[in-house]
Amino acid sequence: MCTKKKIVSKNMFTLLGTAWCLSQFSLHFTHLTFQFLTSDDSSFRRGLLEIIVYHLHNIGRIRKYLSYDDRKSIVQAVIMSRIDYCNSLMVGVPAVQLSKLQRLENAAARLVSNVAKYDHITPTLVKLHWFPVRFRVILKIAMLAHKCIYGNAPEYLRGLVKVKRTPRYNLRSDGGMLLEDYSARSKKTLGDRAFKTAAPKIWNILLVDIRMQDNYNIFKGQLKTHYFRLADNF
């Protein structure tokens, strides 16, 4: 809080950026609450990891009293929901950061399926129909892009993506509901992680049949099948 007075109604802002950029931001407001999330500050991820470890430990203590279906339901509700929460913000983060969440997802899969610690985990993830964390992130971005294209997303997201104009000449590379790519051509920057830049990159490499599917439920099923095939070869 920026003031010690009791405030009945207040607004909250979430500021995203590097630690240096946020350090340059000066607070001159008395009735606002600010939440700082930095791209290079691991406090948010560390807190998430600690919560997941805590719940995994507690579920493990009662595992022998639960059936397979009960374990799966509890883990999906308590663990996987936290892994998926706002995971689209993790697009483009270093693999070392995603690997921490991936190890916890692997631990959750072992807990559900009662798999030994050093057994290969990929067959278990396939059996549970769980995507690796990396694919969970890009899946969320692709689904948000579909909602933006067909007008089912909030206005502030719809304005970030734009469908390419139909060219005068029919080129194979320009067909199939492509998005304008706003990525930096010269070098990789933090801006490449923004939804406006990441969504076209993920969307444009999807299969044409998937991109042209206007029904969201059918699109979601086709998208999951596509990414499951990619995950098997990953």
Averaged pLDDT of the chain:
80
Give the model's pLDDT for residue 41: 42
Tell whether the model's pLDDT for residue 33 goes beyond 60.
no
Q: Could you tell me if 126 and 141 lie in one domain? A: no
Report DSSP state, residue 163: B
Give the model's pLDDT for residue 112: 94
Domain C-terminal end among 63, 98, 130: 130
Q: Could you tell me if 149 and 228 lie in one domain? A: yes
Domain of 96? 43-130
- C-alpha to C-alpha distance for 175 and 167, rounded to whole angstroms: 9
- C-alpha to C-alpha distance for 206 and 223, rounded to whole angstroms: 8
Q: Could you tell me if 112 and 87 lie in one domain? A: yes
Structural domains in the chain (count): 2
The CA distances from residue 181 to 73, 161, 190, 192, in Å, are 39, 9, 16, 11
Q: Is residue 142 domain-resident?
A: yes
Question: Please, what is the Cα angle at 148 between 162 and 78, to 5 degrees?
Answer: 140
pLDDT tens digit string along 147-197?
999 989 988 888 888 888 766 655 555 567 888 887 765 456 666 788 888
Q: Could you tell me if 102 and 81 lie in one domain? A: yes
pLDDT tens digit string along 34-54?
444 444 445 556 778 889 999
Give the model's pLDDT for residue 37: 45
Query: What phi and psi values does residue 86 have, to the nearest 5 degrees?
Result: 55, 30
pTM, full prediction:
0.75
pLDDT tens digit string along 101-135?
999 999 999 999 999 888 899 999 999 999 999 99
Q: Is residue 123 domain-resident?
A: yes
Instruction: Describe the crossing of helices 195-204 and 133-149 by its angle, rounded to 10 degrees.
Output: 100
More confident residue, 37 or 142: 142
Q: Is residue 11 domain-resident?
A: no
Contacts of 180 (CB under 8 A, 6+ apart): 161, 162, 163, 164, 200
Tell whether the model's pLDDT for residue 7 goes beyond 50.
no
Q: Could you tell me if 121 and 156 lie in one domain? A: no
Q: Could you tell me if 86 and 150 lie in one domain? A: no
Domain C-terminal end among 99, 130, 161: 130
Q: Is residue 209 domain-resident?
A: yes
Give the model's pLDDT for residue 177: 83
